[in-house]
Every structure is written in structure tokens, then in C-alpha cells.
């Protein structure tokens, strides 16, 4: 019995270890790939769309910040509703359905209000579906195979995050060769096309995924349930939160690479190369997500997650050192993005599985939602703080502070007693 099994306070599942790659796991993975394909296409072309609409960069920051905040708080509420009513699959379908609806609203926008509404609709759907989908996957496999099931799921999710931006940029370039009445035409064309994978995601989840747990808990009270969560899980959330307050958005990592390479390449070429480095980070994540899950099933999810958090702190330290030594070497920067891909793969594959080993079946979806809320709030704080410190003081100091917080979170996570279940 591994450490994870000893730490599980009541979540059991019937599938055998050999049946982890089942219809539900495959369907959830395909759905996530299509869903990410849909909204990541928007993410990569949205800044250019705002530019041709004449909307300032400050508006983009506000739109993204508000949308992320909505998604974060929605995660915990959706988990509570699902645990109380037991209608998880229906709520996940609604969440995936809201993403293409948000895309349509964005494609029709002529100013920031409809853009904000479209992004809010999409991100509300993202927050609604995430914890419930993860809970379904957790209970569709055995305790011993959760790591590889989530590793496969995160790999599929990242495939969409790689292909969506690449195809979005390619389609935008193709559409710009056509005749349009105004400059927004190519962008609207790509946004309309992005609705197709969004609709396919809904159909994939509807037809392939089976929810193994339908038991409602009508007596569940929101604040009482929060207070009754295991003490060890609350300490885990604290460690996640501390780490998250240093876990900056990797759009800032792209900006760092762009700034470092600009003196030798020029800003335009540097920006293009930095974008490709981000794609490289996503490719690394795709390649290592499943092996990470296999390692977690063998050695325990928590110890592997501690290693992942340590790699996160190393990413911030190396970025700070890159500014200290004015590094413009493509190979060295690619190494930093490689480590970033490793830690994100571990973080995204295992945070939910560690949660499942600490909480009861009755509050599983709500607990995963609480994890998402803590992560969302902490990362919003981190990205804002790193951006402000970068502007006011220096990028070196901003990434150094991020490294300190990420290292502190790693220590807090490592100090959790793996055998304690209360």
C-alpha cells in the first residue's frame, strides 16, 4: 500500500487497476482537448482583436483579471451545488456549452462591454465544469491509478492548448489574405470557427462520459461543510496558496524572454521566438503528464507534487538569474521553459489527486472547487504583484520574490504528514 492509499479517508472506487483507461477517462480527455482548443484559440488572438478595435491594453488586463476571478469563485460554488444535488454531468455539460456561447459574443463585439461579457460567460463555464469533471474522473478509476488517469487527462488538455493557438495564428494569417470590409474581419472569422470544437466538446462529454456517482446530499450546508473539511486538507490548501502567490502567469515568462532577447534580435523577432518557447513549454507538458501520473501511482502523489513545486521555485530563480546575467541564449531560455513545462505538468496532474486522498466522498467536488478557488486567487495576486514590482522596481526583484514564495509553499507542502488523515 502506498502513501496515498493510507491517506484516503473514505473515497473508494470499484474499477480495477487495469481499467483506468476507460470510456469516461477517454471521453473526459477528448472533451478537455476540444474545450481548450476552443478558448485557447481566442486567448492567442484576443490582444490583436482588441488592438484593431482600438481598445487599450489596460482593458485587456481588467477583462482577464475579472474573468479569472469569476472562474475561481465559481469553482467552489459549483462543487458545493454538485455535492448537494448530485447532478454533476448536467452541470459539466452546461459549463462546456457556455464556452462556445462566450466565443460567439466575443466575435460580435464592437467594444469592451461585449468582450467582457463573452469572456465572463466562457470563464464562468470553465469554473463551473472543472471541479465536477475532475471528481467524475477520480471516481471512474481505482485509487491506485488516479495518477495516470489525471496524467492522461492533463496531456489531452494541453494538446488542445498547443494546437489551438497554432491553428488560430495560422487561420488568422490565411484569413488576412482575403478581402474584408474592415480589419476585424479575419479575427471574427477565426472566432466563429473556434465555436466548432466548443460544440464538439459538449457532444463528446454527453456521449462518452458516464458519471459513476449520482448520490445527492441535500442536507449539505455550504459554510458548515467548509468548516468540517479535514484539518490536513486545510493545511494543504494553505501550502497551495503560499506557492500560488509566487506562481506567476507564464505570459510574464513570455514577456521576460522577449525582453531578454530584444537587444540581440529586435523586438518583433524576440516576441515571435518567445511565443514559440511557450509552445515548447506546452509540448513538454504534453509529453511528461502521463509519466508523471505513473510515478505518482507508484511513489505517491504528494511526494511527486513536492518535487513539482520545487521545480516551480527553480523556474523563478533561473528567470531572476537570467535578468541578473542578461541572458539572451536561446538554449538557456529554452531550458527555463522546459523546467516550467515540467512543474506545470506535475502541478496540474496531481493537485486534484492529492485532494481526493484527503477528503470524503460527500465533499469531493466542493473540495476540488476550494482548491481551484485558492489557486485562482493566489495566482491573480501573484501575477499582479510580479507585474507591479517589475514595473516599479525591476524584473529581477519580482521573480526573486516569486521564488521565495514558491519555495515557502514547497516547504509547507513537504511538511504535511503523509500518514495523517485528520
How far, in Å, CA of 100 to CA of 111, rounded?
Answer: 19
Task: Evaluate whether 116 touches 58 at the Cβ level (below 8 Å).
Answer: no
pTM metric for this prediction? 0.75
pLDDT of res. 238: 96
* Residue 305 near residue 354 (C-beta atoms within 8 A): yes
| CATH for 228-422 (3.40.50.460, 3.30.70.380, 1.20.1250.20, 1.10.10.60) | 1.20.1250.20
| Residue-level pLDDT at 1 | 38
- The pLDDT assigned to 83 comes to 72
pLDDT computed for residue 219 by the predictor: 66
Please give the pLDDT value at position 9: 46
CA torsion sign, 360 to 366 to 372 to 374?
A: negative
State which fold the 23-209 domain adopts. Growth Hormone; Chain: A; (1.20.1250)
Task: List, for residues 30-74, the tens digit of each pLDDT value.
Answer: 998 898 888 777 766 776 677 778 776 556 656 766 777 777 778
Are residues 386 and 248 in contact, defined by beta-carbon separation less than 8 angstroms? Answer: yes
Q: Is the separation of the CB atoms in 250 and 281 below 8 Å?
A: yes
Q: Do domains 23-209 and 228-422 have the same CATH topology?
A: yes
pLDDT for the residue numbered 215: 61
Distances (CA, A) of 189 to 49, 219, 275, 308, 348: 11, 48, 22, 39, 32
Which sequence spans correspond to the domains of the chain? 23-209, 228-422
Mean pLDDT for back-to-back runs of 10 residues, the chain (422 residues):
42 51 88 85 72 69 71 77 75 90 89 86 86 82 81 82 80 82 84 91 91 66 74 94 90 84 83 80 90 91 96 97 94 96 93 88 80 84 80 89 96 76 38
Amino acid at each position: 500500500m502506498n502513501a496515498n492509499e493510507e491517506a484516503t479517508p473514505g473515497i473508494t472506487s470499484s474499477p480495477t487497476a487495469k481499467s483506468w483507461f476507460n470510456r469516461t477517462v477517454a471521453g473526459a480527455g477528448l472533451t478537455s482537448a476540444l474545450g481548450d482548443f476552443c478558448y485557447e484559440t481566442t486567448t492567442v488572438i484576443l490582444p490583436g482583436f482588441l488592438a484593431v478595435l482600438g481598445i487599450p491594453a489596460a482593458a485587456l488586463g481588467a477583462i482577464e483579471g475579472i474573468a479569472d476571478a469569476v472562474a475561481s469563485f465559481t469553482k467552489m460554488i459549483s462543487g458545493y451545488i454538485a455535492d448537494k444535488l448530485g447532478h454533476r454531468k448536467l452541470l459539466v455539460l452546461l459549463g462546456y456549452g457556455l464556452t462556445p456561447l462566450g466565443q460567439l459574443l466575443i466575435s460580435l463585439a464592437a467594444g469592451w462591454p461585449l468582450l467582457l461579457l463573452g469572456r465572463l460567460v466562457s470563464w464562468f463555464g470553465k469554473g463551473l465544469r472543472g471541479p465536477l469533471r475532475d471528481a467524475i474522473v477520480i471516481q471512474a478509476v481505482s485509487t491506485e491509478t488516479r495518477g495516470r488517469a489525471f496524467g492522461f487527462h492533463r496531456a489531452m488538455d494541453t494538446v488542445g492548448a498547443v494546437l489551438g493557438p497554432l491553428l488560430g495564428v495560422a487561420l488568422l494569417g490565411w484569413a488576412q489574405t482575403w478581402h474584408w470590409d474592415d480589419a476585424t474581419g479575419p479575427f471574427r472569422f477565426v472566432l466563429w470557427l473556434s465555436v466548432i470544437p466548443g460544440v464538439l466538446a459538449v457532444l463528446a462529454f454527453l456521449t462518452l462520459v458516464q458519471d459513476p456517482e449520482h448520490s445527492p446530499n441535500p442536507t449539505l450546508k455550504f459554510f458548515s461543510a467548509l468548516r468540517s473539511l479535514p484539518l490536513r486538507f486545510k493545511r494543504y490548501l494553505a501550502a497551495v496558496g503560499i506557492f500560488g502567490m509566487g506562481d506567476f502567469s507564464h505570459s510574464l515568462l513570455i514577456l521576460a524572454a522577449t525582453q531578454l532577447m530584444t537587444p540581440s534580435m529586435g523586438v518583433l523577432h524576440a516576441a515571435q521566438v518567445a511565443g514559440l518557447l511557450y509552445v515548447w513549454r506546452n509540448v513538454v507538458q504534453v509529453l511528461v503528464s502521463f509519466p508523471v501520473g505513473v510515478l505518482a501511482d507508484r511513489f505517491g502523489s504528494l511526494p511527486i507534487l513536492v518535487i513539482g513545486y520545487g521545480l516551480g521555485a527553480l523556474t523563478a530563480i533561473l528567470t531572476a538569474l537570467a535578468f541578473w546575467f542578461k541572458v539572451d541564449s536561446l538554449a538557456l531560455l529554452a531550458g527555463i521553459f522546459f523546467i516550467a513545462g515540467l512543474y506545470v505538468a506535475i502541478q496540474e496532474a496531481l493537485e486534484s489527486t492529492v485532494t481526493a486522498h484527503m477528503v470524503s466522498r460527500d465533499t469531493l467536488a466542493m473540495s476540488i472547487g476550494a482548491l481551484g478557488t485558492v489557486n485562482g486567487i493566489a495566482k491573480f495576486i501573484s501575477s499582479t504583484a510580479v507585474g507591479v514590482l517589475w514595473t516599479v522596481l525591476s524584473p529581477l526583484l519580482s521573480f526573486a520574490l516569486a521564488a521565495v514564495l514558491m519555495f515557502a509553499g514547497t516547504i509547507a507542502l513537504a511538511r504535511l504528514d503523509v500518514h495523517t488523515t485528520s
